Amino acid sequence: MKALRVAVLLDKGVKIERYECLEVVGPKDPEPTYSCPIMAVDGVANMIDDYEILVSDADGASDEELLRASRERLLFLHVHGDNVERVAPLPLGNRVKVTVQFWYPGLFCVPAISDGDRALILAGLLANEVKVTGFNKGYQDPRTKKTLIHPIKERKLNISSVLSLLGKLHDVY
| pLDDT at position 145 | 52
Confidence of residue 172 (pLDDT cuts 50, 70, 90): very low
Residue pLDDT, tens place only, 90-145:
999 999 999 998 888 888 899 888 898 899 999 999 999 999 988 765 545 555 55
Position 52 pLDDT exceeds 80:
yes
User: Are 8 and 100 a contacting pair, CB within 8 Å?
Assistant: no
For the question of whether the overall pTM of this predicted structure is more than 0.85, the answer is no
Rg of the Cα trace of the chain?
Answer: 15
Position 168 pLDDT exceeds 50:
no
Pseudo-torsion of CA 172, 112, 46, 130, nearest 10°? 10
CA distances (Å), origin 12, targets 51, 76, 97, 117, 143: 20, 11, 6, 23, 30
Residue pLDDT, tens place only, 142-158:
555 545 455 555 555 55
Pseudo-torsion of CA 47, 52, 56, 61, nearest 10°? 30
CB atoms within 10 A of CB 95: 17
Residue 77, phi then psi, degrees to nearest 5: -105, 120
Position 77 pLDDT exceeds 80:
yes
